[in-house]
Amino acid sequence: MDIKTNKIVRLTLSYAVIAFMFVIILYPILWVFGASITPGSSMGSFSLLPEKTTWGHYAHIFNMEESNYLLWYWNTLKVCFITMAASVLVVSLMAYAFSRYRFWGRKNGLVVFLILQMIPNFAALIAIFVLARVTGLVDTHLGLILIYVGGAIPMNTWLMKGYLDSIPRELDESARMDGAGHLRIFWQIIMPLAKPMVAVVSVFTFIIPFTDFILAKVLLRTPEQYTLAVGLYQLIARDFGSEYTTFAAGSILIAIPIAILFLSFQKYFVSGLTAGGTKG
Protein backbone atom coordinates (compact mmCIF):
# COMPACT_ATOMS: atom_id res chain seq x y z
CA MET A 1 0.00 0.00 0.00
CA ASP A 2 1.55 3.28 -1.15
CA ILE A 3 1.64 6.47 0.94
CA LYS A 4 -1.27 8.11 -0.87
CA THR A 5 -3.57 5.10 -0.46
CA ASN A 6 -2.59 4.77 3.19
CA LYS A 7 -3.45 8.44 3.76
CA ILE A 8 -6.86 8.01 2.10
CA VAL A 9 -7.65 4.96 4.23
CA ARG A 10 -6.67 6.75 7.45
CA LEU A 11 -8.78 9.79 6.55
CA THR A 12 -11.75 7.59 5.65
CA LEU A 13 -11.54 5.72 8.95
CA SER A 14 -11.16 9.00 10.87
CA TYR A 15 -14.22 10.53 9.24
CA ALA A 16 -16.19 7.31 9.75
CA VAL A 17 -15.44 7.35 13.49
CA ILE A 18 -16.33 11.05 13.69
CA ALA A 19 -19.61 10.47 11.81
CA PHE A 20 -20.47 7.54 14.07
CA MET A 21 -19.86 9.56 17.23
CA PHE A 22 -21.81 12.49 15.75
CA VAL A 23 -24.83 10.24 15.18
CA ILE A 24 -24.62 8.86 18.73
CA ILE A 25 -24.54 12.40 20.16
CA LEU A 26 -27.13 13.92 17.83
CA TYR A 27 -29.73 11.13 17.85
CA PRO A 28 -30.92 11.60 21.48
CA ILE A 29 -31.19 15.36 20.90
CA LEU A 30 -33.29 14.87 17.77
CA TRP A 31 -35.36 12.26 19.60
CA VAL A 32 -36.21 14.63 22.45
CA PHE A 33 -36.84 17.52 20.05
CA GLY A 34 -39.14 15.32 17.96
CA ALA A 35 -41.06 14.43 21.10
CA SER A 36 -41.37 18.10 22.05
CA ILE A 37 -43.17 18.97 18.80
CA THR A 38 -45.33 15.84 18.67
CA PRO A 39 -49.05 16.40 19.32
CA GLY A 40 -50.48 14.72 22.37
CA SER A 41 -48.79 13.80 25.61
CA SER A 42 -47.47 10.28 25.05
CA MET A 43 -44.07 9.28 23.67
CA GLY A 44 -45.20 5.82 22.69
CA SER A 45 -46.33 6.63 19.15
CA PHE A 46 -44.09 9.42 17.92
CA SER A 47 -41.37 9.20 15.27
CA LEU A 48 -38.04 10.98 15.02
CA LEU A 49 -39.52 13.36 12.43
CA PRO A 50 -43.27 13.45 13.15
CA GLU A 51 -45.67 14.09 10.27
CA LYS A 52 -47.79 16.43 12.37
CA THR A 53 -46.03 18.95 14.54
CA THR A 54 -47.10 21.43 17.15
CA TRP A 55 -45.42 24.12 19.23
CA GLY A 56 -48.18 23.96 21.80
CA HIS A 57 -45.99 22.26 24.40
CA TYR A 58 -43.59 25.20 24.36
CA ALA A 59 -46.51 27.61 24.64
CA HIS A 60 -47.83 25.57 27.59
CA ILE A 61 -44.61 25.75 29.62
CA PHE A 62 -44.31 29.49 28.99
CA ASN A 63 -47.87 30.09 30.19
CA MET A 64 -47.36 31.17 33.81
CA GLU A 65 -51.00 30.38 34.65
CA GLU A 66 -50.54 26.73 33.67
CA SER A 67 -46.91 26.09 34.57
CA ASN A 68 -44.17 27.38 36.88
CA TYR A 69 -41.53 26.62 34.27
CA LEU A 70 -40.28 30.21 33.96
CA LEU A 71 -39.96 30.46 37.74
CA TRP A 72 -38.03 27.19 37.84
CA TYR A 73 -35.82 28.45 35.02
CA TRP A 74 -35.09 31.66 36.92
CA ASN A 75 -34.35 29.72 40.11
CA THR A 76 -31.94 27.48 38.23
CA LEU A 77 -30.15 30.35 36.51
CA LYS A 78 -29.79 32.17 39.82
CA VAL A 79 -28.32 29.11 41.50
CA CYS A 80 -26.08 28.44 38.49
CA PHE A 81 -24.53 31.91 38.27
CA ILE A 82 -23.98 32.27 42.01
CA THR A 83 -22.51 28.76 42.20
CA MET A 84 -20.24 29.48 39.25
CA ALA A 85 -18.98 32.81 40.62
CA ALA A 86 -18.45 31.51 44.16
CA SER A 87 -16.79 28.31 42.95
CA VAL A 88 -14.36 30.11 40.65
CA LEU A 89 -13.39 32.52 43.44
CA VAL A 90 -12.92 29.86 46.13
CA VAL A 91 -11.22 27.34 43.84
CA SER A 92 -8.86 29.96 42.40
CA LEU A 93 -7.78 31.20 45.83
CA MET A 94 -7.28 27.68 47.18
CA ALA A 95 -5.41 26.52 44.09
CA TYR A 96 -3.18 29.61 44.24
CA ALA A 97 -2.34 28.88 47.87
CA PHE A 98 -1.55 25.22 47.16
CA SER A 99 0.48 26.12 44.08
CA ARG A 100 2.54 29.05 45.35
CA TYR A 101 2.93 28.56 49.12
CA ARG A 102 4.54 25.87 51.22
CA PHE A 103 2.76 25.25 54.53
CA TRP A 104 2.14 22.47 57.03
CA GLY A 105 -0.46 19.99 55.83
CA ARG A 106 -0.23 21.04 52.19
CA LYS A 107 0.34 17.56 50.74
CA ASN A 108 -2.11 15.94 53.14
CA GLY A 109 -4.72 18.53 52.20
CA LEU A 110 -4.38 17.66 48.52
CA VAL A 111 -4.69 13.96 49.33
CA VAL A 112 -7.84 14.64 51.36
CA PHE A 113 -9.31 16.56 48.42
CA LEU A 114 -8.59 13.60 46.16
CA ILE A 115 -10.26 11.18 48.57
CA LEU A 116 -13.31 13.42 48.99
CA GLN A 117 -13.72 13.57 45.23
CA MET A 118 -14.05 9.79 45.14
CA ILE A 119 -17.06 9.84 47.47
CA PRO A 120 -20.33 10.47 45.57
CA ASN A 121 -22.65 13.15 46.90
CA PHE A 122 -25.59 10.80 47.38
CA ALA A 123 -23.52 8.79 49.86
CA ALA A 124 -23.77 11.73 52.26
CA LEU A 125 -27.39 12.67 51.56
CA ILE A 126 -28.60 11.98 55.11
CA ALA A 127 -25.75 13.97 56.65
CA ILE A 128 -26.32 16.84 54.21
CA PHE A 129 -30.04 16.96 54.97
CA VAL A 130 -29.48 16.87 58.75
CA LEU A 131 -26.88 19.63 58.50
CA ALA A 132 -29.19 21.73 56.32
CA ARG A 133 -32.07 21.22 58.75
CA VAL A 134 -29.96 22.18 61.77
CA THR A 135 -28.75 25.36 60.04
CA GLY A 136 -32.20 26.25 58.69
CA LEU A 137 -31.18 25.87 55.04
CA VAL A 138 -33.80 23.32 53.99
CA ASP A 139 -35.95 24.62 51.11
CA THR A 140 -33.51 27.48 50.40
CA HIS A 141 -31.36 28.17 47.40
CA LEU A 142 -28.53 29.23 49.69
CA GLY A 143 -28.27 25.73 51.12
CA LEU A 144 -28.18 24.25 47.62
CA ILE A 145 -25.52 26.74 46.49
CA LEU A 146 -23.29 26.01 49.48
CA ILE A 147 -23.45 22.27 48.77
CA TYR A 148 -22.67 22.78 45.08
CA VAL A 149 -19.75 25.09 45.85
CA GLY A 150 -18.38 22.73 48.47
CA GLY A 151 -18.71 19.75 46.16
CA ALA A 152 -16.91 21.57 43.35
CA ILE A 153 -13.85 22.43 45.44
CA PRO A 154 -11.84 19.14 45.52
CA MET A 155 -11.59 18.20 41.83
CA ASN A 156 -11.52 21.75 40.48
CA THR A 157 -8.82 22.74 42.96
CA TRP A 158 -6.67 19.91 41.63
CA LEU A 159 -7.28 21.04 38.05
CA MET A 160 -6.60 24.70 38.79
CA LYS A 161 -3.50 23.95 40.85
CA GLY A 162 -2.05 21.86 38.03
CA TYR A 163 -2.54 24.75 35.63
CA LEU A 164 -1.12 27.36 38.00
CA ASP A 165 1.95 25.17 38.53
CA SER A 166 2.73 25.64 34.83
CA ILE A 167 2.84 29.45 35.18
CA PRO A 168 6.47 30.50 35.80
CA ARG A 169 7.21 31.63 39.35
CA GLU A 170 9.58 34.24 37.95
CA LEU A 171 6.52 36.37 37.19
CA ASP A 172 5.62 36.40 40.88
CA GLU A 173 9.15 37.30 41.88
CA SER A 174 9.34 40.13 39.35
CA ALA A 175 6.05 41.55 40.60
CA ARG A 176 7.23 41.41 44.22
CA MET A 177 10.37 43.31 43.26
CA ASP A 178 8.08 46.02 41.85
CA GLY A 179 6.23 46.20 45.17
CA ALA A 180 3.15 44.09 44.35
CA GLY A 181 1.45 42.24 47.18
CA HIS A 182 -0.02 38.76 47.20
CA LEU A 183 -3.55 39.76 46.18
CA ARG A 184 -2.32 42.05 43.42
CA ILE A 185 -0.14 39.29 42.00
CA PHE A 186 -3.12 36.93 42.16
CA TRP A 187 -5.62 39.26 40.46
CA GLN A 188 -3.44 41.08 37.94
CA ILE A 189 -0.88 38.45 36.95
CA ILE A 190 -1.97 34.92 37.77
CA MET A 191 -5.68 35.10 36.98
CA PRO A 192 -5.32 36.68 33.51
CA LEU A 193 -2.90 33.89 32.59
CA ALA A 194 -5.24 31.25 34.02
CA LYS A 195 -8.28 32.26 31.95
CA PRO A 196 -8.48 28.91 30.09
CA MET A 197 -8.75 26.97 33.36
CA VAL A 198 -11.10 29.57 34.84
CA ALA A 199 -13.33 29.00 31.81
CA VAL A 200 -13.24 25.23 32.37
CA VAL A 201 -14.14 25.55 36.05
CA SER A 202 -16.90 28.03 35.17
CA VAL A 203 -18.54 25.68 32.69
CA PHE A 204 -18.26 22.67 35.01
CA THR A 205 -19.81 24.47 37.98
CA PHE A 206 -22.49 26.18 35.86
CA ILE A 207 -23.76 22.87 34.51
CA ILE A 208 -24.12 21.18 37.93
CA PRO A 209 -27.42 22.83 39.02
CA PHE A 210 -28.96 22.14 35.61
CA THR A 211 -28.16 18.44 35.74
CA ASP A 212 -28.52 17.68 39.45
CA PHE A 213 -31.77 16.17 40.64
CA ILE A 214 -31.04 14.23 43.82
CA LEU A 215 -29.67 17.02 46.02
CA ALA A 216 -32.25 19.52 44.80
CA LYS A 217 -35.06 17.02 45.40
CA VAL A 218 -33.87 16.36 48.95
CA LEU A 219 -33.48 20.02 49.97
CA LEU A 220 -36.21 21.86 48.04
CA ARG A 221 -39.77 21.32 49.31
CA THR A 222 -42.02 23.98 47.78
CA PRO A 223 -42.76 24.46 44.05
CA GLU A 224 -41.70 28.11 44.29
CA GLN A 225 -38.16 27.00 45.17
CA TYR A 226 -37.81 24.17 42.64
CA THR A 227 -35.02 24.10 40.09
CA LEU A 228 -35.69 22.82 36.58
CA ALA A 229 -34.71 19.21 37.27
CA VAL A 230 -37.13 18.90 40.18
CA GLY A 231 -39.83 21.00 38.55
CA LEU A 232 -39.87 18.98 35.32
CA TYR A 233 -39.96 15.75 37.28
CA GLN A 234 -42.94 16.96 39.28
CA LEU A 235 -44.57 18.01 36.01
CA ILE A 236 -44.81 14.41 34.80
CA ALA A 237 -45.06 12.74 38.21
CA ARG A 238 -48.22 14.55 39.28
CA ASP A 239 -50.17 13.23 36.29
CA PHE A 240 -48.66 9.72 36.33
CA GLY A 241 -46.34 10.35 33.39
CA SER A 242 -48.89 11.83 31.00
CA GLU A 243 -46.88 14.97 30.20
CA TYR A 244 -43.81 13.47 28.54
CA THR A 245 -43.98 15.71 25.47
CA THR A 246 -44.17 18.81 27.66
CA PHE A 247 -41.25 17.43 29.65
CA ALA A 248 -39.30 17.05 26.38
CA ALA A 249 -40.01 20.68 25.44
CA GLY A 250 -38.75 21.88 28.81
CA SER A 251 -35.65 19.68 28.53
CA ILE A 252 -34.69 21.08 25.13
CA LEU A 253 -34.66 24.64 26.48
CA ILE A 254 -32.23 23.66 29.23
CA ALA A 255 -29.43 23.43 26.66
CA ILE A 256 -29.69 27.10 25.62
CA PRO A 257 -27.81 28.84 28.48
CA ILE A 258 -25.23 26.03 28.63
CA ALA A 259 -24.56 26.36 24.91
CA ILE A 260 -24.31 30.15 25.16
CA LEU A 261 -21.83 29.91 28.03
CA PHE A 262 -19.74 27.30 26.25
CA LEU A 263 -19.60 29.34 23.03
CA SER A 264 -18.70 32.47 25.01
CA PHE A 265 -15.74 30.69 26.63
CA GLN A 266 -14.68 28.75 23.54
CA LYS A 267 -11.85 31.15 22.70
CA TYR A 268 -10.31 30.53 26.13
CA PHE A 269 -10.46 26.76 25.60
CA VAL A 270 -8.69 27.14 22.26
CA SER A 271 -6.06 29.50 23.69
CA GLY A 272 -5.43 27.07 26.54
CA LEU A 273 -4.88 24.17 24.13
CA THR A 274 -2.60 26.33 21.98
CA ALA A 275 -0.57 27.47 24.96
CA GLY A 276 -0.17 23.91 26.17
CA GLY A 277 0.93 22.75 22.74
CA THR A 278 3.55 25.47 22.21
CA LYS A 279 5.09 25.55 25.67
CA GLY A 280 8.75 24.69 25.51
Per DSSP (E only), the strands in 80-197 are none
Q: Output the CA–CA distances (angstroms, integers) from residue 191 to 200, 212, 277, in the order listed.
A: 13, 29, 20
Instruction: Report the percentage of the chain scoring pLDDT > 70.
Output: 89
What CA–CA distance (Å, rounded) separates 86 from 153?
A: 10
Question: pLDDT confidence of 271, banded at 50, 70, 90?
Answer: low
How confident is the model over 86-131, as pLDDT tens digits?
Answer: 999 999 999 998 888 888 877 888 888 778 777 777 778 888 889 9
Asked if residue 279 has pLDDT above 70, the reply is: no
Neighbours of 181 (CB within 10 A): 9
**CB within 8 Å of 207: residues ≥ 6 apart:** 258
What CA–CA distance (Å, rounded) separates 177 from 248?
A: 59
Question: pLDDT confidence of 278, banded at 50, 70, 90?
Answer: very low
**CB within 8 Å of 184: residues ≥ 6 apart:** 175
pTM over 0.75: yes
How confident is the model over 72-85, as pLDDT tens digits?
Answer: 999 999 999 999 99
- Helix (H), strand (E) at residue 165: helix 141-165
CA torsion, ordered 32, 33, 35, 40, to nearest 10 deg: 140
For the stretch 2-8, contacts whose Cβ atoms lie closer than 8 Å and that sit 24 or more positions apart, written own/partner, are: none
Burial of 44 (0-12, 13-18, 19+ CB in 10 A): exposed
Q: Is 250 helix (H, G, I), strand (E, B) or coil?
A: helix
